[in-house]
Amino acid sequence: QLQLQESGPGLVKPSETLSLTCTVTGASISRSTYYWGWIRQPPGKGLEWIGCIYYSGDTYYNPSLKSRVTMSVDTSKNQFSLNLTSVTAADTAVYYCARSGKYWNWFDPWGQGTLVTVSS
Amino acid sequence: QSALTQPASVSGSPGQSITISCTGTTSDVGGYNYVSWYQQYPGKAPKLMIYDVSNRPSGVSNRFSGSKSGNTASLTISGLQAEDEADYYCSSYTSSSTLVFGGGTKLTVL
């Protein structure tokens, strides 16, 4: 059964870099035609697409975050990662990773999510 | 890119049918059959309910159905049950090769 699990610091200081990793179990990232994505949700607010990555390294980012976002994949560890630089309080959110279809036309399954708070 | 427009809330009584709309533009909803719907309970991760406008993943009740007309997609839940009370989000692929979500709709079962 495919499962995804986010991991990383729960607290990040303003202006620093938020780094999260998503570990995939039950399927190989590199042996599929799927994409892998990050989505976030500020407390009490809606979902926001951050971006998606293919195992080859091809990336697609939300234009509003593109200047601060980098995604990468480590096929040897079956993980993909998110880096978000120069964070502010507005980046406080639950961050989810999920498997995606080729046109981000679906996300399934999702990780349980991890809350990242930006505060000094 | 602007968020897709959903009603903030809808409500219905058990057994009734409700419809949640999701309005975009020709650059997203209207231009592609890549609309999805997600159900989210408080404190939980979203769950895929409908993809590619009207397809149901395995295990999702056939009480959930999706459709699209022009720039507006819709999620219909028939035979409303108490367990359907949740937040619902739509999403669409866009002409910029990005994804946009709707603002979310809170469904209350009266």
- Does residue A110 sit at the B interface (CB-CB below 8 Å)? yes
Q: What are the tens digits of pLDDT across the range B30-78?
A: 999 999 999 999 999 999 999 999 999 999 999 999 999 999 999 999 9
Q: What are the tens digits of pLDDT across the range A7-17?
A: 999 999 999 99
What average pLDDT score do residues B81-92 get? 98
Residue A60 confidence (pLDDT): 95
Q: What are the tens digits of pLDDT across the range A48-106?
A: 999 999 999 899 999 999 999 999 999 999 999 999 999 999 999 999 999 999 888 89
* Residues A49, B99: C-beta atoms closer than 8 Å: yes
Residue A32 confidence (pLDDT): 72
Cβ contacts of B75 within 8 Å, gap of 6 or more: B19, B20, B22, B37, B49, B50, B64, B65, B66, B88, B90
Q: For A99-103, A109-113, B27-31, B78-82, which range has the lowest pLDDT when averaged over its residues? A: A99-103
Q: Letter for the amino acid at B36? A: S
Looking up tokens 């202006």 gives A15
pLDDT surpassing 80 at residue A6: yes
What average pLDDT score do residues B72-90 get? 98
DSSP B11-42: EE-TT--EEEEEE--TTTTTT-S-EEEEEE-T
The residue among A62, A104, A112 with the most chain B CBs within 10 A of its CB, best to mutate, is: A104
Residue B78 confidence (pLDDT): 98
Residue A104 confidence (pLDDT): 81
> Pick from B77, B48, B81: which is nearest to B63 by CA?
B77
> Pick from B36, B41, B33, B99: which is nearest to A50 by CA?
B99
Residues of B in contact with A61 (CB under 8 A): 98
- Does residue A48 sit at the B interface (CB-CB below 8 Å)? yes
